Chains A and B, each alone.
Chain A
């Protein structure tokens, strides 16, 4: 049973556009929702994270929107750049145990 569903699987955006990646979770006990960015041949690195008592968090061009009642959260990348081309994973965590989405491969065309 997949507890975190991520969409889309791949995304192509023009430079300067907005990239949106969505995730849905099932377990209401999750208490930490991070997004990780992974470049080829590298380990994932934390991009931005949110806890369920907040509906939105913004760090630079990256924003997480969190809808607790719908059990959904999303990553918005504003003014997308070619350097943002990578694989993005959402995750939901409880007591340190993280369940990851299957990832979204983002390509930003110049």
Chain B
């Protein structure tokens, strides 16, 4: 069955370190998204991609970057982790640009 996976599921890092969160989908979807979820804020869009080599900034992109070298993967990099980036991160993909998004299980990131 097609799926979307994220790794690691839990990560503790120190302030200032570079961190990369992986997202891999086997749906063969062109559209992929990264969100962060904080208590009281729902899900906020960080970056998104409509296809290979395409990336776009979302609502809360400062301090994050993504690259899309193939259809299956959209890794999220925190260039210099800050305590404000402690959150749960979700990756999602969709077949249609405006359609159902399939979410991964999430990565809980703690920056100390």
Contact = CB atoms under 8 A, between A and B. Distances in A.
B100 A98 contact: no
B68 to A, nearest CB: 14
- Chain A residues touching B, majority SS: strand
A42, A44, A89, A96: which has the most chain B beta carbons within 10 Å?
Answer: A96
Contacts, number: 57
Interface of B: 31, 33, 35, 40-45, 48, 50, 58-59, 90, 92, 94, 97-106
B41 A96 contact: no
Given A96-B50, A101-B42, A46 B100 contact: yes
Contacts of A36: 103
A98 B48 CA distance: 10
Given A89-B43, A93-B98, 13 more contacts: A32-B98, A34-B100, A43-B103, A43-B104, A43-B105, A43-B106, A46-B101, A91-B43, A96-B98, A100-B35, A100-B42, A102-B41, A102-B42
